[in-house]
Amino acid sequence: MNAIDPTAGLTVWAEIDLDALEHNVRTLRARAPKSDLMAVVKADAYGHGLLPVARAAVRAGAGWLGVAQFAEAFALRDAGITTRLLTWLSVPGSDFAGAVRRDIDLSASATWTLYAIAATARQQGRTARVHLKVDTGLGRGGAYGTDWPALLDHARLLEAEGVISVVGIWTHFAFADAPEHPTVLTQQDTFFEAVALAEKVGLRPEVRHLANSAATLVHPSAHADLVRPGIAIYGLSPVPQVADDFDLRPVMTLRARLALVKRVPAGQGISYGHVYRPEVDTSIALVPLGYADGIPRNATNVGPVRIGDYRSTIAGRVCMDQFVVDLGPQGSAVAGDVVTLFGAGPDEPTAQDWADATDTISYEIVSRIGARVPRLWRGGSEDETEGGVEA
C-alpha cells in the first residue's frame, strides 16, 4: 500500500476502482459463457478513463474493445493496445485510411461506407475488416428494410475482390432498459433473419452481436457470438427498476473537499436566484464542483451528498464551478473535509441516486464528469503504468 495520500492537494477527484471493473467484466463473462465479450469504452470509458479501463477490461478477459469514434480507436491503438477493436461512427471524409492502417474493425450501415473502406483498403493493399450493421427496429444506425439485401450484395462483390472481409453482422436494441418490452424479441428475430440472408448470399461472418448490458444480463437468447456491455462493466445497472444488482460493483466514486464552511441566519437565500432558504440559523458548506464539471444544473435542491456521517442534498442552484450544502444547525464539518457525491460504499449516494434525482440515467451522470476532475485509478491486477493522476 502507498502511504502517501494520492488525494493530497486535490480539490476534486474521481476514484476509479479497477478491481471492481475487472470483477464486473468477469461477472459479465460468466453471464454469457459461450460468447466473447466486447468492453464498450466509448466516451472516455463512460468518463472512467479510456486507457486504464481498456487495459483492465482486457486483463479481465475482454477479447474485444468497442468505441464510437475513430479518434477513440486511434488513441487505443496508438497507446499500444492490440486487442480486436471495433469503431462504429463515421461520416464521409472520416480517416478510413488511418483506421485500416491501425488494424481497426469498421462498421458499415450504408454502401457509401463500404466503398470508402474498400477504396482505402485497395490503396493500402490490405483487406479491411467490416461489420455490417442492420437496423432491426432501433431506428438509428444500420441498414433498414430493403437497404439490407442491397448492402449485402455490395459487400459480397467487394469481398470477392479481396478488399473487405465481412467479419461481423450486428444490430442494437431500442429498449435497453426494458427487458420485458416486446420489441426485444422482435428485433432479435429480425436480426437472425438478416444473418440468414447474409449467409444465403455467401457471407460467412465470424461474429454476430447484438447484446448491450441489459441483454447480456437478462436475455441469454441474444448473447450470440459476442456481447457488448458498456454501463454494466462500470458497475451500474442498465435496468435499475429490477431489484437485482447482478453482483456488479460501482467503479467511480466522485469526491471533493469543502472549500468553505460558514454560519448563515434563517431565511438567507442561498446561491443564485435564492431558490433555497434555510428555516433556521445554520451552517453551510461550499463544494467546488459545478455544472462545468458535469454536475447537472437540475440537481439544484435535489442532488444527494455525504459528508462524514451526514447525508444531505444540494442547497440552492448548482453553479458553473460550485454548489452549497446545508450542514444543519449542528453542522460540524470544516473546510477541507471530504464530501462524496456518489460512490460504492453502503452509506454513500450512488450514480443511480443522482440519475433518479435529476430525471436521467446513470450513463449520463458518469459520462459527463468533466475534464477538470482528475481520475485516480486504483487496483487492477497489474500496476498502472500511467501512475495514477491524469488531469
Ligand X SMILES: *Cc1c(COP(=O)(O)O)cnc(C)c1O
Catalytic (active-site) positions: 42, 272
Which sign does the torsion angle of CA 59, 62, 68, 70 carry?
Answer: positive
What residue has cell string 494520492?
Answer: 6
Q: Closer to ligand X at the Cβ: 72 or 326?
A: 72
The secondary element (H helix, E strand) that includes residue 341 is: strand 338-342
- Contact set for ligand X, span 7-26 (CB under 6 A): none
Taking the complex as a whole, how short is the minimal distance between the CB of residue 210 and ligand X, in angstroms? 9
* 147-161 helix and 111-124 helix, angle to the nearest 10 degrees: 10
**From CA 353, how far away is CA 357, in angstroms rounded?**
6
Taking the complex as a whole, how short is the minimal distance between the CB of residue 95 and ligand X, in angstroms? 20
Q: Closer to ligand X at the Cβ: 137 or 238?
A: 238
User: In the set 23, 55, 172, 306, which binds ligand X (CB under 6 A)?
Assistant: 172
Taking the complex as a whole, how short is the minimal distance between the CB of residue 303 and ligand X, in angstroms? 23
Taking the complex as a whole, how short is the minimal distance between the CB of residue 223 and ligand X, in angstroms? 13
The stretch among 24-32, 49-57, 230-238, 287-295 that binds ligand X (CB under 6 A) is: 230-238
Burial 229-259 (b: 16+ CB within 10 A, else e): bbbbbbbbbbbbeeeeebebbbbbbbbbbbb
User: In the set 231, 284, 307, 355, which binds ligand X (CB under 6 A)?
Assistant: 231
Sheet holding 310-315, edge to edge: 260-264, 282-287, 323-328, 310-315, 304-307, 338-342, 252-257, 12-17, 375-378, 389-390
Q: Closer to ligand X at the Cβ: 229 or 290?
A: 229
Contact 314, 301 (CB under 8 A): yes
**Is 47 a binder of ligand X (CB under 6 A)?**
no
Taking the complex as a whole, how short is the minimal distance between the CB of residue 232 and ligand X, in angstroms? 6
What residue has cell string 470509458?
Answer: 45
**Is 238 a binder of ligand X (CB under 6 A)?**
yes
Q: Closer to ligand X at the Cβ: 173 or 276?
A: 173
Q: Closer to ligand X at the Cβ: 215 or 339?
A: 215
**From CA 67, how far away is CA 41, in angstroms rounded?**
6
User: In the set 18, 20, 37, 40, which binds ligand X (CB under 6 A)?
Assistant: 40
**From CA 158, how far away is CA 119, in angstroms rounded?**
10
Taking the complex as a whole, how short is the minimal distance between the CB of residue 216 and ligand X, in angstroms? 7
**From CA 211, how far away is CA 228, in angstroms rounded?**
6
Number of amino acids touching ligand X (CB under 6 A): 13
Strands 105-108, 282-287: pairing kind: unpaired
Site string for ligand X, 78-117 (x = CB under 6 A): ----------x-----------------------------
- CA-nearest of 251, 247, 315, 314 to 278 is 315
User: In the set 47, 142, 205, 229, which binds ligand X (CB under 6 A)?
Assistant: 229
Q: Closer to ligand X at the Cβ: 88 or 246?
A: 88
Taking the complex as a whole, how short is the minimal distance between the CB of residue 306 and ligand X, in angstroms? 26
User: In the set 121, 134, 167, 176, which binds ligand X (CB under 6 A)?
Assistant: 176
The stretch among 228-236, 276-284, 298-306, 312-320 that binds ligand X (CB under 6 A) is: 228-236
Q: Closer to ligand X at the Cβ: 37 or 258?
A: 37
Size (the chain), residues: 391
- How large is the C-alpha radius of gyration of the chain? 24
Residues that bind ligand X (CB under 6 A): 40, 42, 88, 172, 176, 212-213, 228-232, 238
